[in-house]
Amino acid sequence: MSEETSRRRFLTGAVAGGLAAAGAGSAGAQDKGKAATAIKSNPKNQPPNVPSWSKVLGDGVATHPYGKPSKFERHVVRRDVEWLTASRESSVNFTPLHELDGIITPNGLCFERHHGGAAEINPLDHRLLVHGLVDKPLMFTMDDLKRFPRVNRIYFLECAANSGMEWRGAQLNGCQFTHGMVHNVMYTGVLLRDVLREAGLKPNARWLQVEGADSAGMNRSLPIEKALADCILAFKMNGEALRTEQGYPLRLVVPGWEGNIWVKWLRRIEVGDKPWLAREETSKYTDLMADGRSRRYTFIMDAKSVVTNPAPEAPLRYKGRNVLSGLAWSGRGRITRVDVTLDGGRNWREARIDGLVLDKSLTRFYVDFDWQGEELLIQSRAHDETGYVQPTKDELRKVRGVNSIYHNNGIQTWLVRSNGETENVEIG
Amino acid sequence: MSRSARTILLLAAIALSAAQSGAALAQASAKKLGLGREATAAEIAAWDIDVRPDGHGLPPGKGTVKQGEELFTALCAACHGDFGEGRDRWPVLAGGHGTLKNDRPDKTIGSFWPHQSTVFDYIKRAMPFGNAQSLSNDEIYALTAYVLHLNDVIKDANFELNDKNFLSIRMPNADGFYDDDRETAEKHFWNRKVCMKDCLKTEPKVTGRAQVLDVTPDNKTAPRVD
């Protein structure tokens, strides 16, 4: 049975409840050709019957030495957009935000962005070199680094190009693709300033070059003030070792700043008196304005939010009670408030924030509402503790034009039709 | 001091005491933990591959446009095209002069990159794609010369680029960049009063739809409710 056929059958079978149910998720482009059959329900396992799992033994403790999600969650995966890039080694995939809740992103679903593939590094062979304008150049093993005092911090990481395809208008019809280049995990590591102190900074130290050990040799210039303020050399995420694709065994954490500077597979820190102006801070990750000039050093990720349910991949399925859910974050500090409109901006209400509200972290919000099948135009608007209020896309375009690629933190609009189907749109 | 540097300093001042400057830190040697070992000069030399716009890190060496053309044809043209025009979706390296204000700007090395050191630095660390750090310094000088020749930055087809004349080159878009000014240029995004009730004079209208474009990978298989 082809994927299309199975899906159609599933949808047909599910229409019984009035409004049709959405599939258990759609298979990604990369799943095509595989036997990705949609999950079907079985009345024999429903009340008043005794379901099969209540009768037979389940898996024993030795079956899954490293646990995976339930097979019924197999559609919850990172996806990519094949036409975006020339190769999959210098490319990006996206976190399925519409399938997640709370504020922590599971490690295996954190979006990937690399420029030369994910380097696979034996931690015993990995070294961090600190040199340049220091009293004594130092070479660290992973074990050396783990002997510095440790810290645990939860931070969001957003690619500067998140929502970058949307500058000219609504383009990608999915929350995963419009906003999925963000994740939020707890890092364990050591403070960069402690490691720099060990080498001893010269008085004229102003910038660091941070460099990865991958085949892109990713290098960025980091101002010394930020390096000394809150940057972390991280070796754990959500309690376990960094995943290969997130920089195992060592990555730089630069809270609130664009993801590109969070160098993965960190192998070298050179201390200097000037910035390096490498490719990823000149040709890329600079913001071309309408007048033909470009902003550089636009490190901070401004306040942003998105409704993750409903979304194009997560339509409304039921009339009556519904839960709207979303995420807000700011690279300048804490989220203080999120407003939500269901009618395209005529009227707004303050969303209910639930869970931890942390500095430079994803923050979860909800609106519990009743729906009778009327058309909705849903938007969310984040406020942060510096007083910044998330702008509309048109307000951003007015200042920046449409060619800046990066830092699109404009307000997202979802159109929900009377049948619950949801689409990425722009309104005016 | 630039505006963005001021902003960064301000941020830093919030996060830690102002006394914790590089100088103060350097003096705090009493707190050293004795971790790591001294790196040798040979180790640093082998890994220190970066090149800055002021010539810091530029290695001795030389290469001509002509030598660069041969290398480019053999190692680079499969992706970037014989003249840097870019094949498929691989980066376009040449052309696009004067297009930065256009509706569809062409950001190439010649039209956009502010510093020639970036070309050298990037080729040295990351090219050829899939065989990084395989080129000699002379080969990188030659390739840099050829790519700059493709962009009319180096006009003489017999030019030899070397560590002595490297800094004499000026890129067309060298002055095209300015420091992050969001806190002034976008000041109006801060501390504004937001309307919560009866905010629009006219009905909001849908002006653009993602489904019309139909470029989303899952578009044909996404959950539909029809």
Whether residue A275 sits in one domain with residue A143: yes
β-pairing, A266-272 with A128-132? parallel
Q: What is the CATH number of the domain that holds A341?
A: 2.60.40.650
Task: Say how many C-beta atoms besides its own lie within 10 A of residue B197's C-beta.
Answer: 8
pTM of the model: 0.90
Q: What's the pLDDT score for residue B2? A: 52
Which positions in chain A touch B52 (Cβ < 8 Å)?
272, 274-277
Distance CA A339, CA A102 (A): 18
Q: Which residue of B has its CA nearest to A409?
A: B189
Domain of residue B65 covers 61-178
Domain match, A150 and A223 both: yes
In this prediction, residue B13 carries a pLDDT of: 46
**How many angstroms separate the CA atoms of B208 and A425, rounded?**
5
Q: Are B12 and A254 in contact (CB under 8 A)?
A: no
Q: B94 lies in a domain?
A: yes
Which 3 state secondary structure label does DSSP give B85? coil
Question: What pLDDT, on the 0 to 100 scale, is given for residue B218?
Answer: 56
Quickly count: other Cβ atoms within 10 Å of residue B18's Cβ: 10
Q: Establish if A84 belongs to a structural domain.
A: no
Q: State the pLDDT at residue B177.
A: 98
pLDDT of residue B71: 98
Which residues, at least 6 apart from B92, have a Cβ–Cβ distance to it below 8 Å?
Answer: B80, B81, B84, B85, B86, B106, B108
Residues A262 and A308 placed together within one structural domain of the fold = no
A contact residues 295-354, partner B, Cβ 8 Å cutoff: 295-300, 302, 312-315, 317, 339, 343-349
For residue range A97-112, what is the model confidence (pLDDT) as tens digits? 999 999 999 999 999 9
A266 and A348, same domain (yes or no): no
Q: Which residues of A250-334 form beta strands (DSSP E)?
A: 251-253, 266-272, 287-288, 294-296, 304-309, 320-329
> Could you tell me how far CA A355 lies from the centroid of its own chain?
18
Say whether B190 and A23 touch across the interface (CB within 8 A).
Answer: no
Determine contact: A71 vs chain B, CB below 8 A: no
B61, pLDDT greater than 50: yes
Same domain, A7 and A37: yes
Whole-angstrom distance, CA of residue A10 vs CA of residue A14: 6
Which of B59, B52, B49 is CA-nearest to residue B132? B49
Structural domain includes residue B164 = yes
Mutate to test the interface with B, among A99, A138, A139 (most CBs of B within 10 A): A139
Same domain for A364 and A256: no
Domain edge (last residue) among A239, A271, A295:
A295
| Residue among A135, A270, A421 minimizing CB distance to B224 | A421
Structure-block tokens of residue B165: 């004349």
Same domain, residue pair A48 and A147: no
Return the pLDDT at A85: 85
Closest CA to A375 of A420, A345, A341, A319: A420
Residue A102 lies in a domain: no
- Mean pLDDT within B140-163: 98
Distant-in-sequence, close-in-space partners of B90: CB < 8 Å, separation ≥ 6 = A86, B79, B80, B81
Q: How many domains does the structure of chain A reveal?
A: 3
Decide: A138 and B39 in contact? Cβ < 8 Å.
Answer: yes
SS3 assignment, position A290 = coil
B103 assigned to some structural domain = yes
Helix B116-126 crosses helix B137-150 at what angle (to 10 degrees)?
Answer: 130
Q: Which of A75, A92, A127 is the last residue of a domain?
A: A75
Domain at B128, CATH number: 1.10.760.10
A262 and A128 inside one domain: yes
Q: Is pLDDT at B12 greater than 70 in this prediction?
A: no
Cα-based angle A244, A211, A216 (whole degrees, multiple of 5): 65
How far apart are the C-alpha atoms of B167 and B58, rounded to whole Å? 10
| In-domain check, residue A47 | yes
Q: B121–A27: do the CB atoms touch at under 8 Å?
A: no
Helices (H), A184-243: 192-199, 224-229
User: How many degrees, rounded to 5, is the angle at CA A13 between CA A7 and CA A16?
Assistant: 140
Residue B216 lies in a domain: no
Question: Quick check: is B122 in a domain?
Answer: yes
Q: Is residue A194 part of a domain?
A: yes
- Domain range for A335: 304-425
Domain contains A107: no
Q: SS3 for B182? A: helix
Pick the closest to residue A324 from A193, A195, A225, A420 (CA basis): A420
CA nearest B105: which of A412, A188, A286? A286
Domain membership flag for residue A285: yes
Task: Name the residue of chain B whose CA is nearest to A410's CA.
Answer: B189
Contacts with A16 (C-beta within 8 Å, 6 or more apart), sequence order:
none
Quote the CA–CA distance of A304 and B208 in Å, as a whole number.
Answer: 21
Verify whether the Cβ–Cβ distance A297 to B133 is below 8 Å: no
Quick one: A120 and A245 in the same domain?
yes
Cβ burial A295-330 (10 Å sphere, 16+ → b, else e): bbbbbbbbbbbbbbbbbbbbbbbeeeebebbbbbbb
CB contact under 8 A, A139 and B211: no
Q: Are residues A177 and A32 in the same domain?
A: no
Q: What is the count of structural domains for chain B?
A: 1
One pLDDT digit (tens) per residue for chain A, 428 residues: 343 333 333 333 333 233 333 333 333 333 433 444 678 999 999 999 999 999 999 999 999 999 999 999 999 999 998 888 888 888 999 999 999 999 999 999 999 999 999 999 999 999 999 999 999 999 999 999 999 999 999 999 999 999 999 999 999 999 999 999 999 999 999 999 999 999 999 999 999 999 999 999 999 999 999 999 999 999 999 999 999 999 999 999 999 999 999 999 999 999 999 999 999 999 999 999 999 999 999 999 999 999 999 999 999 999 999 999 999 999 999 999 999 999 999 999 999 999 999 999 999 999 999 999 999 999 999 999 999 999 999 999 999 999 999 999 999 999 999 999 999 999 99
Is residue A394 domain-resident? yes
* From A137, A198, A297, residue closest to B32, measured CB to CB: A198
Question: Are residues A322 and A268 part of one domain?
Answer: no
Q: What is the CATH classification number for the domain harbouring A152?
A: 3.90.420.10
Tell me, yes or no, whether B2 lies in a domain. Answer: no
Measure the CA–CA gap between A173 and B68, rounded to whole angstroms: 44
In the structure, what pLDDT confidence band is assigned to residue B8 with cuts at 50, 70 and 90? low
Q: Tell me whether residue B53 is in a domain.
A: no
- Helix (H) or strand (E) holding A92, with range, is strand A91-94
A193 to chain B: which residues are within 8 Å by CB?
Answer: 20, 25
Residue A48 domain flag:
yes
Q: Do A216 and B125 make contact, defined as CB atoms within 8 angstroms?
A: yes
Residue range B169-223, pLDDT digits in tens:
999 999 999 999 999 999 999 999 999 999 999 999 999 999 877 677 754 444 4
Portion of chain B with pLDDT greater than 90, in percent: 78
A312 and A288, same structural domain? no
Q: How many inter-chain contacts (A to B, CB under 8 Å) are there?
A: 326
Which of A271, A295, A319 is where one domain is finished? A295
Chain B residues within 8 A of A312 when measuring between CB atoms: 210, 216, 222
Mean pLDDT of B57-66: 98
